[in-house]
Amino acid sequence: MEGDFSVCRNCKRHVVSANFTLHEAYCLRFLVLCPECEEPVPKETMEEHCKLEHQQGKEFQLLKGKSTVIIATK
């Protein structure tokens, strides 16, 4: 896609300038950046996102120093 791009100050993504105002208004209202993965996530699902996407890594870090390692399978 050709054209000028601007960087959204909320999600840090490059957006076509023609769509920038609408994108940024939506983004600032409904999305937040996850502090761990820096991905834009809907505000209302941030808690769920953190539990699903980052909890496994935290559990692994907690178990790292112990002799038992638990591997979860789906």
* Max Cα-Cα span within the chain: 56
The C-alpha angle 51, 52, 56, rounded to 5 degrees, equals 85
> Which tokens belong to 27?
């983004």
Q: Where are the domains of the chain?
A: 5-47
Instruction: Give the C-alpha separation, 63 to 55, whole Å.
Output: 12
Instruction: Give the C-alpha separation, 15 to 8, whole Å.
Output: 7
Return per-residue pLDDT of the chain as tens, 74 residues.
467 999 999 999 999 999 999 999 999 999 999 998 999 999 999 999 988 888 765 554 544 555 444 445 54
Which residue, among 8, 2, 40, 35, has the nearest Cα to 21 in the 3D structure? 8
